[in-house]
């Protein structure tokens, strides 16, 4: 396998060269043997980007809203990275929807980097490698990273664990209020957007959403109250108000220490995921191993319970 000059690649990414950023994300997605080296090189360069997650049911206009937000942040002089997480093609395993086509207005802008990523069967609306890809864009100097997740309903709430601020999009006439309550995404939004607000029922959707957010509410005087904003993303209407709400939420998080807490929790989950993945790989290597077979034989014979056998196996792995 061809090795990559990681320090040179990282330096080029810092200069904003899109090919270098693309190569680094490809190393992440492909679980390259050099992934550890890449992450070690990126670690001191991260922490500056503001990560915004956009989630919602299919058809609410996530890609159009993302594109409009990119335009708004670019007008403010911000460098923007976009991760558009698509369902996996059952044939190629690659991204299926190709959100970059819908964001073609930004294709020639050197201040915007757009990448479609495939979930590759991973539930939760995100690709398993999304946290590392976010790190790449952060280290590459993006001021804002927009993560648009796949519309997969109840498992889509994972975006809240990866973003600094989560935006939940709904649209009138789609039964989104009830569906959102079922999916649990009403619990994870920091900003709510009723898109396609030029359609009949937009005001009713906003009222229903406001009512649902108020049910069982026990917020203190300093707690964040998620705003509800009506937009027509296809015409850019209401997008400046969304950006203003995002900036207010970021300021509130800074003031109350919430941003640091969220990022620490995100790092903890990332560490846990990496550790579990490594453990699974080592367990897979033990299939057919004499130690595992011996423990299995004792469990089958009733000499040992499976929990004690598991403890013994784990102890063997951690001592190795």
pLDDT at 240: 97
pLDDT at 209: 86
81 three-class SS: strand
Query: What are 192's strand-pairing partners?
Result: 168, 228
Query: pTM of this prediction?
Result: 0.85
pLDDT tier at 161, thresholds 50, 70, 90: confident
In tens, the pLDDT along 210-221 reads 888 877 566 677
The DSSP letter of residue 232 is B
The CA distances from residue 289 to 191, 295, 315, in Å, are: 52, 10, 15
Which tokens is 22 given?
Answer: 């693309």
pLDDT at 162: 82
In tens, the pLDDT along 49-88 reads 999 999 888 788 888 999 999 999 999 999 999 998 765 4
* pLDDT above 60 for 309: yes
pLDDT tier at 104, thresholds 50, 70, 90: low
How many residues are present in the chain? Answer: 320
pLDDT at 184: 64
Which tokens is 25 given?
Answer: 């994300």
pLDDT at 50: 97
Which tokens is 112 given?
Answer: 């915007």
Whole-number Å distance between alpha carbons of 16 and 106:
15
Whole-number Å distance between alpha carbons of 256 and 83:
28
Query: What are 84's strand-pairing partners?
Result: 116, 148
In tens, the pLDDT along 239-298 reads 999 999 999 999 999 999 999 999 999 888 888 888 888 888 888 887 778 888 999 999
pLDDT at 177: 55
Whole-number Å distance between alpha carbons of 181 and 163:
20
> Nearest CA to 49 among 138, 129, 123?
138
pLDDT at 203: 92
Among 76-85, 93-102, 228-237, 306-315, name the one with the lowest average pLDDT: 93-102
Among 32-46, 130-144, 167-181, 303-317, name the one with the lowest average pLDDT: 167-181
pLDDT at 99: 47
Q: Residues 89, 203: contact at Cβ < 8 Å?
A: no
Cα 251 from chain centroid (whole Å): 21
Whole-number Å distance between alpha carbons of 128 and 292:
29
Cβ neighbours around 30 below 10 Å, total: 11
Cβ neighbours of residue 31 closer than 8 Å, sequence gap 6 or more: 129
In this structure, the strands spanning 112-118 and 50-56 are unpaired
Q: Rg (Cα) of the chain, in Å, rounded?
A: 22
Whole-number Å distance between alpha carbons of 57 and 46:
31
DSSP 183-250: HTGGGT-SEEEE--TTSTTHHHHHHHHHHHHHTT----TTS----EEE-BGGGTBTHHHHHHHHHHHH
């Amino acid at each position: 396998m061809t090795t990559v000059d990681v320090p040179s690649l990282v330096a080029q990414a810092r200069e904003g060269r899109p090919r270098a950023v693309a190569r680094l994300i490809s190393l992440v997605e492909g679980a390259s043997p050099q992934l550890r080296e890449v992450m070690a090189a990126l670690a001191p360069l991260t922490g500056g980007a503001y990560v915004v997650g956009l989630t919602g049911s299919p058809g609410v206009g996530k890609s159009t809203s993302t594109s409009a937000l990119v335009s708004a942040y670019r007008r403010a002089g911000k460098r923007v990275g976009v991760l558009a997480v698509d369902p996996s093609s059952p044939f190629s395993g690659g991204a299926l929807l190709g959100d970059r086509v819908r964001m073609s207005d930004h294709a020639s802008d050197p201040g915007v980097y757009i990448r479609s990523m495939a979930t590759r069967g991973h539930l939760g609306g995100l690709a398993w490698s999304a946290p590392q890809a976010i790190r790449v864009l952060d280290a590459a100097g993006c001021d804002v990273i927009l993560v648009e997740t796949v519309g997969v309903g109840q498992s889509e709430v994972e975006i809240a664990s990866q973003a600094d601020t989560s935006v939940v999009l709904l649209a009138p006439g789609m039964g989104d209020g009830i569906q959102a309550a079922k999916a649990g995404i009403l619990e994870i939004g920091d900003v709510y957007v009723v898109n396609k607000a030029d359609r009949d029922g937009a005001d009713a959707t906003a009222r229903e959403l406001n009512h649902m957010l108020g049910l069982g509410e026990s917020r203190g005087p300093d707690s964040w109250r998620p705003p509800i904003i009506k937009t027509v993303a296809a015409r850019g209407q209401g997008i400046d108000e969304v950006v203003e709400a995002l900036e207010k939420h970021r300021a509130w998080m800074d003031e109350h220490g919430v941003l640091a807490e969220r990022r620490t929790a995100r790092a903890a989950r990332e560490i846990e995921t990496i550790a579990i993945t490594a453990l699974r790989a080592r367990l897979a290597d033990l299939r057919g191993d004499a130690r595992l077979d011996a423990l299995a034989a004792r469990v089958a014979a009733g000499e040992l319970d499976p929990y004690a056998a598991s403890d013994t196996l784990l102890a063997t792995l951690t001592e190795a």
